[in-house]
Structure 1
């Protein structure tokens, strides 16, 4: 293929390519002509050859920088430890926590000043589960909060005594979740920021006296380094050396032999600090670290218990004792301990091992390295001191051991983990092997029967639910990912999310004691919510407190009630339309209505589930679709009102200040307002006109008088004495002013559509907007319609077409009248 780039024309034959390669090889000048093809000049060929060499060298540097592992002496490792103790001293549980916080970050609380907050926040999981993934997993708010809480507990508690089973129904994305999680863990652990460290022994054969026992190796080394100085060797001498060399290297692999040492990696990936004898670690770290924050955490916090309690594997322990006897001093032993980053590689089973149900168990679970064992025996002069044998669990010690679904062979693997998880050790022949791994498994609910007989194991299992998506925003993200983000352009705003609400309604319980205990009678919200309060619960699962709730219910939404509602989610999401069902249904809905010039609207959504696919309606709670229409009608009415409403803020502010001042005086008084400097005649009409905007024109006189007294009391007891006199606030910065301003604006907006409802020209002008006919209307109507459409586009992300359609929807259905009593 490289040759093809060097000349032009039709496709070349193999022979022609060979000729061009010859041209490249010998850098022949001039042109090579044959069958209408030609090579470039020698200058071009040299340039191309230089480019090839440059590209290969750059590739080599890049790969070397990425793959090369820095090996540190124990002393160099200690210097790194002192410089970055929180990054160096960590086991797999702390590493897993650091990975999660790196990719997810801190959650975003939309209500940071809420005293009743339970920290049910938004976590952006895209970097962890979506970015760079061929099959993204979308974690909704409910699951993300649940996962983070478990990860935080994982970092703090007795982690090695549990297996974490992610349980969820088919189609919820369990396998996708785990694959993406492990992929990101492997990626993070192999970066400098995520490096975890392991022990490598480098046994100096000269210090251990081996140089006297293998002269052949020395002789071969000299021969290879100085071939010209050994020309006097006869042929049969070389043959004799070759035979001996073959036998030598058969028993001594070159990868384990260097000029000065043999390298023995710890198969259990022991952390280097475990090489310090357990009884001396506390005093060692007391001497090593200054009295700072990290030292306090190291000596007091639960997450660092492993530093003082864990033991190295039997191979490292045996090596330490054998070398100590042979060398005499611990310092000489530590000079043979080296440190390198722990290489995580799922495909090789290093640090991460994943087993599918169909993966058959190994016939021989005991792993050995006979060549290395022989080398160790030769060095230590004793075959019984160090036994280099281990199991498959050693390869994931201080790593992750995962089971995909508890079925067939994975049932046996889970049972085998029982003693390992309970005791943290595994028997390999007569040797005890330490196993401190993060154990993860996936399970379908129906597979629980496979482990019901393991009652003693039940307290070692931590179940984490992965339900179908319960957050409507996340459900919409799934549709966008599958069908493309452009689908939004074909929907009127909110309709796509209402499709998601319909799907999610099948996944929620129809009766929630926690919701009923809070709200009481659901009928008071019948114009905005369904009788099962599912629409309200969906909003809460997204972290949003609806504005249509009464102030009393908002006040009663305590932290305890919030926690009960979120806990409700643990018994939801394992029934209803699955993730696969949802995608299939959306595809049919979208294909049915994505036609012509009209955008997909609520009428189409309603008709799809009631007329096109009435069979699906059987799974949707009774009355839900009607309630969804009510909520949609209320919401778009508020959007149109907000978009049509424009007011004189200066006038509103002036009237509120006048009212706060005037309620302190008797009727008939004439006073100069201390806030605006205007002279006021305080009469019943004066107060009533302002109150019509504050509490409504239909309020009876008794309620008006009560409202005035409450306002006057609030002003004298808090606004004047505390906020104005003590805190130095202006009247427009006080809480009383803000409350009255919100009331005033709200009541103005409620009536904003009234002048236009009966005006047929207004309706036609909306219909003709953005056409030539629109220019035939009067200036006032043109200005009002243009103002309305522009605001809908800028504030609520409508297109011009969508804005026109929703305005027509509001007017034709007389929504202003529908919600007039509320």
Structure 2
């Protein structure tokens, strides 16, 4: 079977395959992944006795020595007789061309007995004899050349132990650059003139040693070098079409004919293919069932897209952006690769308008979050519950049609290069207005495929997010007091009006009146909440307390009131409504804006003590909680104030 990585232009197929081959090569050369191959060390004395004349150098070898630069000083080429060093070596080293494991030299019918004697009875031995992954140990055969050497030696020496004394193992190191274990062909690489390779010097020595040129043919093809390795084609076009077709018989039978020899080829076959290249295989319908297509779409995950930019342009680029802006650039690119309409998303989210501060009307931004494996916190509980396994499967299944159109990987890198070159400055960070301006002025073709209104939704989401960050950073709350208010409120709604009670949680005395309940509900709901909504709130709290909090969580599970779901829900409401109003005292305060601009300068010392305290608190929290630099915190605060975001999202 051949694995074809199939996808549109610029989707990263080549990068993916190169990374895969690099990781494979690295692992194969580690101690954990290292493999061993056969190398024969043929003892000349044992095989030839004292007949040295039979092993004298051939004329071809003498010619090699003459032209060898290392022997340059030993020869006189100016008409004098040539002198040769005819000293006999101890052995001839013959490596296995197919990189076979030395154990395969043992005849198949004897392997189980040999292993049974060599390996003690333990868990590994049981796995070796029973599990599928070790079947090759007992079923595979050694290459034709090694088999010929074994048979010839056995005839000559008569004893298997004598034969195995000449059998050695050496590490099998993968090296893509010299085609050892990994061979990669580009469409422009011309085929070899002949389909076999011959080591004439070694062949002549083998012939002289065995005194028969037909016993062992040291002949092999380029496929032998990738036996037990990887053979890859970069794009199935031009010369690679021929190579692909040539693989048909190898993949079907696992053998390749080299002259009169059958050469076994067992390796991973990979190929890259663009959609238009599929027609090159139409003439070979029987080949289709031997191909397994693996789709490589354009990147749909925001984090992966950002990592690609940082890998190409350097990790330092992140420091040129305000937080979230680089990710939003990736979202603007990815939106062109996603279908605008989604039946699964429409079935899941019935009313997208309720999420207008977080998402676009077509729910493309939400799709990106789901594809990144994130269920956003801003989703309502009912929608989170609706996202069950069945619904999630529908969304993921639908995603399989995405990533085949839109801005390619090459396009996105080119566009990012233009954007970064234009807006990256030393004195300021790249902001969302920069991003929106850039995409609005982009060429017609890229601009057309960005869904209408998407950039506006992206900007709105960003504005709302940074407003919440500033509020969170500016807000200081007394957790103990909030906890007391909520506990007192729960106790109050479980008792009659105008009664005086002692709260069972805080031990404080409470006079249950409309005014008391409203004072806390103003923070749980809003100051202008109507009486009906307040009544519903009280009934809801009472019902949850009696049916779940008291009877289940406190009495059975032994939880403290502060650990219950009711308390946490009210606590979050309380804090959220306090944060909504935290900016109100500062929005129209010009001194506050000036203090932000002057932060960490001499002018900052001239401002009012309270403003200095608030600004310092704000800047430190933006840095600590949300990863802003001092410059970034300064710029984002000015952006929030100048664009009046507090009033823009006043009712949000």
TM-score (normalised: structure 2): 0.86
CA distance in 2: counterparts of 1:189 and 1:476, whole angstroms: 30
Aligned to 2:89: 258
Q: 1:497 to 1:206 in 2, by over 3 A?
A: same
Give the drift of 1:579.
2.8
Give the drift of 1:483.
4.2
Q: 1:523 aligns with which of 316, 337, 353?
A: 353
Aligned to 2:52: 214
Q: For residues 409-424 of structure 1, what are the structure 2 equivalents within 5 Å?
A: 409-424=239-254
* SS class of match (1:416): helix
* SS class of match (1:501): helix
Note if contact 2:7-2:297 (Cα within 8 Å) is conserved in structure 1. yes
Q: 1:813 to 1:415 in 2, by over 3 A?
A: same
Aligned to 1:401: 231
Deviates most, 812-821 or 688-697: 688-697
Aligned to 1:345: 175
Q: For residues 673-822 of structure 1, what are the structure 2 equivalents within 5 Å?
A: 673-683=503-513, 685-694=515-524, 698=529, 699-724=533-558, 730-822=560-652
Give the drift of 1:616.
3.6
Q: For residues 557-572 of structure 1, what are the structure 2 equivalents within 5 Å?
A: 557-572=387-402
Q: 1:640 aligns with which of 457, 466, 470?
A: 470
Give the drift of 1:409.
0.9
CA distance in 2: counterparts of 1:218 and 1:361, whole angstroms: 37
Q: 1:455 to 1:821 in 2, by over 3 A?
A: farther
CA distance in 2: counterparts of 1:723 and 1:540, whole angstroms: 34
Q: 1:593 aligns with which of 404, 423, 427?
A: 423
CA distance in 2: counterparts of 1:647 and 1:550, whole angstroms: 25
CA distance in 1: counterparts of 2:504 and 2:362, whole angstroms: 52
CA distance in 1: counterparts of 2:55 and 2:140, whole angstroms: 39
Give the drift of 1:657.
3.9
Give the drift of 1:434.
1.2
Q: 1:619 aligns with which of 435, 449, 472?
A: 449
2:206 is aligned with 1:376: yes
Give the drift of 1:671.
4.9
Q: 1:453 to 1:531 in 2, by over 3 A?
A: farther
Give the drift of 1:437.
0.7
CA distance in 2: counterparts of 1:537 and 1:277, whole angstroms: 59
CA distance in 2: counterparts of 1:290 and 1:675, whole angstroms: 68
Q: 1:302 aligns with which of 132, 149, 171?
A: 132
Give the drift of 1:552.
1.9
Aligned to 1:164: 3
CA distance in 2: counterparts of 1:287 and 1:752, whole angstroms: 80
Note if contact 2:55-2:205 (Cα within 8 Å) is conserved in structure 1. no
RMSD: 3.2
CA distance in 1: counterparts of 2:83 and 2:179, whole angstroms: 33
Q: 1:445 aligns with which of 261, 264, 275?
A: 275
Note if contact 1:660-1:712 (Cα within 8 Å) is conserved in structure 2. no
TM-score (normalised: structure 1): 0.70
Q: For residues 463-612 of structure 1, what are the structure 2 equivalents within 5 Å?
A: 463-594=293-424, 597-611=427-441
Note if contact 1:723-1:734 (Cα within 8 Å) is conserved in structure 2. no
Note if contact 2:335-2:364 (Cα within 8 Å) is conserved in structure 1. yes
- How many aligned positions are there? 626
CA distance in 1: counterparts of 2:210 and 2:499, whole angstroms: 108
Residues 671-723 of structure 1, C-alpha deviations (whole Å, 9 max, x = no match): 54454444445555545544544455523312430232113322223212332
CA distance in 2: counterparts of 1:216 and 1:368, whole angstroms: 22
Deviates most, 420-429 or 538-547: 538-547
Give the drift of 1:580.
2.9
Aligned to 1:364: 194
Aligned to 1:435: 265
CA distance in 1: counterparts of 2:422 and 2:82, whole angstroms: 79
CA distance in 2: counterparts of 1:489 and 1:199, whole angstroms: 53
Note if contact 1:660-1:715 (Cα within 8 Å) is conserved in structure 2. no
CA distance in 1: counterparts of 2:610 and 2:240, whole angstroms: 74
Give the drift of 1:502.
1.2
Q: 1:243 to 1:287 in 2, by over 3 A?
A: farther
CA distance in 2: counterparts of 1:506 and 1:285, whole angstroms: 59
Give the drift of 1:576.
2.0
CA distance in 2: counterparts of 1:258 and 1:711, whole angstroms: 94
Q: 1:459 aligns with which of 289, 292, 295?
A: 289
Q: 1:319 aligns with which of 142, 149, 156?
A: 149
* SS class of match (2:192): coil
CA distance in 2: counterparts of 1:302 and 1:517, whole angstroms: 45
Residues 543-584 of structure 1, C-alpha deviations (whole Å, 9 max, x = no match): 332222222222222344434444444433333222332233
Note if contact 1:665-1:682 (Cα within 8 Å) is conserved in structure 2. yes
2:31 is aligned with 1:197: no
Residues 452-506 of structure 1, C-alpha deviations (whole Å, 9 max, x = no match): 3332222322223333333323333343444444444443222222222212222
* SS class of match (1:722): coil
CA distance in 2: counterparts of 1:326 and 1:568, whole angstroms: 68
Deviates most, 657-666 or 586-595: 657-666
Q: 1:296 to 1:452 in 2, by over 3 A?
A: farther
**Gapped runs of 5+ residues in structure 1?**
1-161, 220-241
CA distance in 2: counterparts of 1:530 and 1:262, whole angstroms: 74
**Gapped runs of 5+ residues in structure 2?**
58-79
Deviates most, 684-693 or 647-656: 684-693
Give the drift of 1:204.
2.7
CA distance in 2: counterparts of 1:701 and 1:282, whole angstroms: 82
CA distance in 2: counterparts of 1:258 and 1:639, whole angstroms: 79
Q: For residues 222-301 of structure 1, what are the structure 2 equivalents within 5 Å?
A: 246=84, 258-259=89-90, 261-301=91-131
Q: 1:275 to 1:688 in 2, by over 3 A?
A: farther
Note if contact 2:432-2:459 (Cα within 8 Å) is conserved in structure 1. yes
Q: 1:607 to 1:343 in 2, by over 3 A?
A: closer
